[in-house]
Structure 1
Amino acid sequence: RDIPDFINQIEDGLLAEIRERIELITAAQLPDLYHNIDELEPAPGSVELLRYLAANRDLIGALLGPGGDQAFIKRIIDTAREAVVPRAQTGILGLALGTFFDYYVTYVVSAEVGLIQRWFERGLTESPEAMARIMTVIAFVRPGDLYGQPIDINVPEYGLKLLNLQLEDAADTVATVESNN
């Protein structure tokens, strides 16, 4: 109908293609990913996603780049979250769900989009295969690992403590409001 509608249709098409490829990645099981990392192989489906992005580099690069469309970047993150969350919740410890899980998924998806943005900024110098290998491993690197000092966190325990702190904060807020009335 008009230019905004045209842009929206292009973005919708890109997002549908991207989501299909993300769903291939989310189908992987953790043991498969560990095996792929041991064998220096990319996560299943990741090469296909990166090849698609590279094949459409002019359009996607313009949308993701420094002068790109922040609303489109948000839509990519939201699309990836929608594809990842149901799979990520499969088999997860119940204590890790809730606020902690929500922020965790946001962190991971945003980080992956950031890596893709950086890849585009660097002119796609790494092949889709090399970049897929990098992204597969980075998803499992903890900051302490880079310094030979891995940080072991009991995530379910931490999630439960966080939930309890949130409940205490909420109770404190209610008590403060009631005392001010």
Structure 2
Amino acid sequence: MLWRLLSLGAAEEIELWRRHAGRRAWLLVALVVAAALSLLVAVALAITLLALRFGAVTALALALGFGLLLCLGLIVALQLEARAHRRRAAAARQAGMLRAAALAALPGLGGKGALVLGLAALALVLAGSRAQEEGEDGGPGEKGPGEKGPGEKGPGDRRPGDRRPGGRAGGAA
């Protein structure tokens, strides 16, 4: 029952987003058409100026090269946007599935049950992180042979200015 309500609500939300996306798409199309027309006028003026300066063939070759570079740039931008859109859509689907699973688990527990479930999950996470910190060889207070505790110095930790057991300082032996 709850799943059916969630799916109906999600379907209405998706339809609302589709309508808004349709409006945005038409606005983007209008913007692209206006930009293309203004670019066409600018290119025509540039070709005219280049033709007066360098000749008609050179001006057309430069305009064609510029147009090809512009088209390649737009294709790359569209591919990057499509990749980002796929990534965002996958993240939204994953978040929606997690949210639906959490909502499906909560109504059967009641108010206090949800609190208990949350505290139990927190305890499991903390226990798991503590076990990772301690490692497999034992607790934080245990030392193996040859291991140093905090604040202890080993034979390789001497600095050049430290005193040696014989009472001499520095590197003279």
TM-score (norm. length: structure 2): 0.27
TM-score (norm. length: structure 1): 0.26
Larger radius of gyration: 2
